[in-house]
Structure 1
Amino acid sequence: MRPAALPLLLCAVNMLAGQLHAFFKVFIEPPEPVVEYGGTVRLKCGTTCQDPSATGNLETSFYKHQLEASGPNEKVVELRNITEWSSNILCYFFCNGTREMVSATLIAYRPLEQAVLEPVPQLEVGESHELVCHVPRVAPVRNLTVILRRGATTLHTATFKDKDKNEPQDVVVRHLVTAERGDQGQNITCQALLDLQPSNVHFNTTSSPRALDVYDFPEDPQLEMSETNLETDEKFNISCSVRDVFPAPRFELSLAGHSLSPRVTEDGLRAVAEVSHAQQGQFEVVCSVRVGPKKRRQQTLVHVYSHPQPQLNVNNSVLKEGTEVSGGCVLPPGHSPELQLQVTAGPRVLATWGPSPLGFTWNVSEEDNGTEVLCEARMPASKKNPKKSVPVVLIVTAKPKLDDRGCPSSQNWTEGENVTLRCQARGNPRPHVVCKKDGTTLIPGQWHMAKRAHTGMFQCEASNALGRDKRDITVWVQYHDINVGLIVAVVLVVLGALAIAGITYGIYYRKKKMREYQLQKEQQRMEMQKLRPEETVGVNGSAPGSQP
């Protein structure tokens, strides 16, 4: 190497060494420092410079308490009573005439307070409600996560990474939920997470749970009564029912403002109460049903009336036919004015429906004997049967009457038969009837044997305490005389016919036997002719094939 080149080589080596000595790093540990507000934090400012004479320091607005470093090229300080939510920290070093520095932001935080979930009211199925969760005084809020859950199901997650404010903030998270029947008893919780990564600081709090109370009351209750017009002190049933509700309903029944004690059916959907009322008037029946916080009611009016038994008065119950009977029907004092009366005599209406008192008149005939006169009282708007008075039975008296209906003027008998004279008289008291002819007396209705002597006219007389009546009856008796000569002639003819029949049968029988004998002989002859010659010879005593 030439001598002139050596200085240049040394200069290049020195320049390269200077550049190598100038390349170093400065760092702060931890690189993203965090500290609880008002607390203390330890920081280290260091360098990679290998020059023992390198100098550096850590600058901050807080009072620094220097600590012993573990190496030559580092500074360790402790910052106390950190009361700024965010502050800058500067770390620098001089190495071989070169200065390098790095900065970091010290973040102060607050430990998380417990999240608070606002109370959740009872919710009707299908109703929407906004859940509200509060997390107070969060710092730094950008590191916060809030999770709303229903049971194990996550409903909503909120983060705040876009928030750059370091001071504490009150956080409110809202979420709308719609109630369903399956939500009953489910717990709603709000979880708050404050994670200060990459540091090892994190907080986790959960609110007290809020149990969902869900109800469903889709329809108004149904109020049922067997009758809306009721008699005083009459017992009747009130029934109130609901359907498709959740949870079990609570019933309240009242009559005229007085609470009743209903009996609830096993399924819990119907309440029944038996009630009565002693006073007249219109009173309100109310059914109130509460399901959850919702209360629904149905009401109706019931008309309570006094319905005593009507009283029937008849001027005379024993009358002669053709005379007039009169009377009236009345209700006792205190009855309801809406009641109506009607008077009847059997199927006949004597006085149609009208208010009390109700009078009537009537001309009776013999056919009306034994008829019941009756008074009925009803409430027009009620479905109940009318109340009836004690009936009055009429007795109608009448003179005897004999006519074709009960005593035909002509009657036909047959001699020798058991017959009775038909003659019945009308009248009350019942008339006594006697029929006479030529000293012969017959009592109608009594049986006797018809004789030809009964033929002729009977005079019948009917009598009772009121008078008499007479009627003539012609009786015809049918009879036949016996003809002895005719009977003898008939007998002789019958005997002669029997004799002739006997002789004729004898001749016929003899001829029949002769024909049968001749027929048998003819059949034998024809059978002989059908035999072969050899059979004929055999028959005569010579066997076929015999030698002479």
Structure 2
Amino acid sequence: MAPAGLPLGRALLIFQLLACCLLALGDLARGSLLRVEPRDPVLLAGGTLVVNCSMDCPQPELLSLETLLEKVPAGHGVRWAAFQLSNITVSSQVFCSGYCNGSQMTATSEIMVFRFPETVELAPLPPWHPVGQNLTLSCLVAGGEPRAQLSAVLLRGEEELSRQPVLGEPAVVTATVLARRSDHGANFSCATELDLRPHGLGLFQNTSAPRQLRTFALPGRPLRLEAPPILEVGSSTQVRCIAHGLFPAPEAQVHMVLGGQRLHPTATSRGDTLTATATAHAHHEGSTDISCNVALGDESRQARKNLTVYSFLEPVVNLSEAMVAERSTVNVTCMAGPRTQVMLDGAPIPLLGQPAQLQLHATERDDGRHFFCSGTLEVDGLLLHKNTTVRLSVLYGPKIDRDKCPQHLVWKEKTTQVLRCQAGGNPAPRLQCLQEDSGNVVHVGIPFVVGLNYSGVYCCQATSPMGSATLPVEIDVRERNPARVSIVLGVLATLGVLTVAVALMFVFGSKSRRGSYPVARQSAFVPLTTMTPQETEAEEVP
């Protein structure tokens, strides 16, 4: 132990001088052997060690241990003495000394103390790091001995990036790597290795907590913003913002703004393409802009477009009366906004912003007529159109269409027929046909079976609040004639009988000419007579 009151530095110097002297004296007595056990031990800082000094000498004298460490006797014998060293915190050299035959001998042992690093920490990584740029990794190592056996290793996952000795206290070990896309989400860490295998111990490792890296890449080309150049007040439209070459696209932040009003986009990604869609609503007329901002990491890209919000009122068509009687006067007016050009069918084209007017005298041809008015507004060089249609109803009396209501019909009894007849008018008239003699009703457009009693002249009348119209229709129902059928059947039967008779006569005539007939012989002589030609034919005919 160092003398009380003596500085540790001076004590260490005195101890070294004493050791040199003892070593010189020990060389003089080589015949005897002095041993120190254990020889060059390695132990963890703060540990305890028992050192044994022994001498091969018949009568050794004054065996002792010289050290700056705290020591206490731990036993002795004739040729040995043991000492316990406590709280060994620094590497040190110990000396055993003794006398043999009046000569002093010494032996030394190197005590190596090792410590594990107290701090192994990887410096924080940036929140985002651009792909293709260098990233500097920095590892702080505090403590750890012996430094000659201590090294620091920078790791990407399990991959070793750099291995360096630990120099200085504390030590900072750095390495530079090129950030890649594959590094996104990778864990980086720092490890220390204390290699005591040459001293019979193992390899001791200590690893820092991992830090995750997030890499990103923004597109080199501008964003594509798809939005209409004009938008009507009170309407909405879909706006799209598309970014190509974005990595990692799902983690990008998209902000879309319309004239100071923040939109709420929905973003989808496919590969390195991000598409954000939002609905834009126009509330105020005027010129504004719409912007899209895509941010990733600490960088962003922006696209902007001008937008004109306009107001375009639909043309209004007014009729002096929507329903008028025939031959009445109707005034038609079409109007729109002050910057709108209107055009009304049949009316002259007015000045910009002025109404179009038309006057007509209503006839039945105007019933159901649609008056078409179009409005045209120019916004930023674009022509916009809106149309309005109104219908006019003209009241007029019934009229029966002769082309669609035949005046003479010929039907056969007991057949199914339909009386087809049409009448026009506004309001639509009621049409019925009555037989003039009997008052029988034939329903128009409904199938019925015709009888002989339907023959006669009918009065078809169309009536409505606007008046009535009549048209005579003659129906001639003819009886089916069974006598003609009987005559035809009789003629056919007669022809059949005659055909059969002729056939039989032909058959029997042929048989009589081919047969043989016996002749009675009364005399060998037959008187000859002259025959006329008629008698000859009669005989030849069977």
TM range (shorter): 0.5 to 0.7
Match of 1:279 in 2: 284
Conserved 8 A contact 2:29-2:105: no
| 1:22 alignment partner, SS class | coil
Change (3 A) 1:199 1:97: farther
Match of 1:214 in 2: 215
1:68 to 50, 75, 86: 75
Conserved 8 A contact 1:223-1:238: no
C-alpha distance in 1 between matches for 2:268 and 2:116: 56
Larger CA deviation: 232-241 vs 148-157: 232-241
Q: AA paired with 1:279?
A: H
Change (3 A) 1:89 1:265: closer
Q: Deviations over 1:509-535 (max 9, x none)?
A: xxxxxxxxxxxxxxxxxxxxxxxxxxx
Match of 1:501 in 2: none
Q: AA paired with 2:267?
A: V
1:148 aligns to 2:154 (yes or no): yes
Q: Deviations over 1:102-158 (max 9, x none)?
A: 334444443333522222232221132221222223333333111111112101111
Match of 1:264 in 2: 267
Change (3 A) 1:42 1:381: same
C-alpha distance in 2 between matches for 1:383 and 1:25: 114
| 2:163 alignment partner, SS class | strand
Match of 1:424 in 2: none
Q: Deviations over 1:153-186 (max 9, x none)?
A: 10111114xx6x8xxx322212122211111222
| 2:135 alignment partner, SS class | strand
C-alpha distance in 1 between matches for 2:62 and 2:261: 97
Q: Deviations over 1:66-122 (max 9, x none)?
A: 2235x7544321112335x34432223434444332334444443333522222232
1:243 aligns to 2:217 (yes or no): no
C-alpha distance in 2 between matches for 1:20 and 1:92: 13
Conserved 8 A contact 2:374-2:385: no
Conserved 8 A contact 2:336-2:342: no
Shift of 1:307: 1.6
| 1:244 alignment partner, SS class | coil
C-alpha distance in 1 between matches for 2:269 and 2:121: 41
Shift of 1:222: 2.1
Match of 2:60 in 1: 53
Q: What is the aligned residue count?
A: 338
Conserved 8 A contact 1:114-1:135: yes
Shift of 1:220: 6.2
Conserved 8 A contact 1:22-1:96: no
Conserved 8 A contact 1:227-1:382: no
Shift of 1:244: 2.1
C-alpha distance in 1 between matches for 2:81 and 2:262: 87
Change (3 A) 1:224 1:358: farther
What does residue range 33-432 of structure 1 map to in structure 2 within 5 Å? Answer: 33-47=41-55, 49-53=56-60, 56-68=63-75, 73-82=79-88, 85-113=90-118, 115-120=120-125, 121-160=127-166, 169-196=169-196, 197-198=198-199, 200=201, 203-219=204-220, 222-247=223-248, 248=250, 249-265=252-268, 267=270, 269-309=274-314, 331-332=336-337, 339=339, 341=341, 356=353, 376-387=375-386
Give me the identity figure in percent: 26
Q: Which structure has the highest strand share of the two?
A: 2
Conserved 8 A contact 1:32-1:199: no
Instruction: Please give the TM-score of this superposition, normalised by the length of structure 2.
Output: 0.52
Conserved 8 A contact 1:288-1:297: yes
Gaps of 5+ in 1: 1-18, 314-327, 361-371, 392-548
Q: AA paired with 1:23?
A: G
Larger CA deviation: 133-142 vs 298-307: 133-142
Q: AA paired with 2:69?
A: F
C-alpha distance in 1 between matches for 2:372 and 2:114: 106
Change (3 A) 1:131 1:109: same
C-alpha distance in 1 between matches for 2:213 and 2:354: 68
C-alpha distance in 1 between matches for 2:28 and 2:387: 133
Conserved 8 A contact 2:225-2:304: no
Match of 1:31 in 2: 39
Shift of 1:390: 7.0
Conserved 8 A contact 2:230-2:379: no
Q: AA paired with 1:381?
A: D
C-alpha distance in 2 between matches for 1:262 and 1:63: 75
Instruction: Please give the TM-score of this superposition, normalised by the length of structure 1.
Output: 0.52
Change (3 A) 1:20 1:264: closer
C-alpha distance in 2 between matches for 1:246 and 1:110: 45
What does residue range 509-520 of structure 1 map to in structure 2 within 5 Å? Answer: none
| 1:142 alignment partner, SS class | helix
Change (3 A) 1:330 1:27: farther
